[in-house]
């Protein structure tokens, strides 16, 4: 049976607000979320994240996702070294071409956010690097729901351009609508419909909120295991032999 994952739920200062949203998200057809926090706020929210995860440990899959909001490459490298083994998903929204190229090449980064400020970075050559390094693009459509008339048309046109290129270059992607309140919630069927407006085929959008995030999460959790060697390869401990009497 296919399970759906909401790939972005932003962590807030109030645990109760987040848990109420998670309750509603679980009731509209999702089996898990990527609980997302900016790196600059990770220390402040770490204990709250633990509280949220412990609340749903057996009933709802919560992955930790870090959005790196640093723009200096050397500092980003240090951040990646410090957090990669502690979190499930790492994402970044590059704002310049040289940073985008660095992000595409570094295999420790999983997701590249497509925003209204970086549409122009996703050329065919950049998308080719994304594909070769198994990157995922994320299209967060929340802004489209609250933007009107000419501005919505401009944003939608740019998103469609990137979406067409991503499809042509066979780059994986997420479609999400990150809720800030109950009124922002969209169930999987609604997200699939919105994705079709971007020009994505229905099955591709369906995969983007189920198979694609599930596979990445599975691989990253395997990598964090002590027995991990390569994807699909683990250290198998020999059973201890009993001494002959």
So what's the pLDDT on residue 240?
A: 62
147: domain CATH number?
3.20.20.140
* Number of domains observed in the structure of the chain: 1
**What residue numbers bound the domain in which 26 lies?**
5-225
Contact residues for 42 (Cβ-Cβ < 8 A; gap 6+) = 66, 83
- 234 domain residue, yes or no: no
- 230 domain residue, yes or no: no
Task: Quick: pLDDT tens for 127-172.
Answer: 999 999 999 999 998 888 788 888 888 888 999 999 999 999 999 9
| Rounded-to-integer distance, Cα 223 and Cα 220, Å | 5
- 56 domain residue, yes or no: yes
- 245 domain residue, yes or no: no
Count CA atoms closer than 13 A to 115's CA, side-chain side. 12
- 240 domain residue, yes or no: no
So what's the pLDDT on residue 226?
A: 66
- 114 domain residue, yes or no: yes
User: From first to last of its 245 residues, what are the pLDDT tens digits of the chain?
Assistant: 789 999 999 998 889 999 999 999 999 999 999 999 999 999 999 999 999 999 998 889 999 999 999 999 999 999 999 999 999 999 999 999 999 999 999 999 999 999 888 999 999 999 999 999 999 999 998 888 788 888 888 888 999 999 999 999 999 999 999 999 999 999 999 999 989 988 899 999 999 999 999 999 999 999 887 665 555 555 656 666 555 54
End-to-end Cα spacing for the chain: 50
Q: Quickly list DSSP for 87-102.
A: -SEEEE---SHHHHHH
So what's the pLDDT on residue 245?
A: 47
So what's the pLDDT on residue 228?
A: 52
- 144 domain residue, yes or no: yes
| Rounded-to-integer distance, Cα 204 and Cα 242, Å | 53
- 244 domain residue, yes or no: no
Alpha helices in 84-210 (DSSP H): 97-105, 124-132, 142-145, 149-168, 188-197, 202-208
């Amino acid at each position: 049976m296919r399970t759906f994952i909401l790939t972005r739920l932003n962590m807030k200062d109030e645990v109760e607000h987040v848990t109420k949203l998670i309750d509603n998200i679980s009731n509209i057809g999702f089996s898990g979320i990527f609980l997302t926090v900016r790196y600059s706020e990770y220390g402040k929210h770490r204990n709250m994240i633990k509280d949220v995860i412990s609340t749903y440990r057996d009933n709802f899959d919560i992955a930790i996702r870090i959005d790196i909001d640093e723009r200096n490459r050397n500092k980003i490298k240090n951040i990646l070294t410090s957090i990669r083994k502690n979190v499930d998903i790492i994402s970044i929204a590059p704002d310049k071409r040289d940073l985008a190229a660095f992000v595409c090449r570094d295999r420790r980064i999983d997701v590249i956010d497509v925003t209204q400020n970086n549409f122009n970075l996703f050329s065919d050559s950049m998308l080719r690097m994304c594909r070769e390094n198994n990157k995922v693009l994320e299209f967060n459509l929340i802004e489209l729901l609250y933007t009107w008339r000419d501005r919505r048309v401009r944003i939608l046109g740019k998103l469609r351009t990137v979406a067409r290129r991503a499809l042509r270059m066979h780059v994986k992607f997420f479609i999400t609508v990150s809720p800030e309140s109950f009124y922002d919630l969209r169930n999987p069927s609604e997200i699939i419909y919105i994705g079709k407006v971007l020009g994505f085929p229905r099955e591709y959008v369906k995969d983007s909120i189920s198979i694609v995030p599930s596979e990445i999460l599975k691989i990253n959790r395997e990598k964090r295991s002590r027995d991990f060697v390569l994807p699909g390869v683990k250290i198998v401990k020999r059973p201890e032999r009993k001494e002959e009497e």
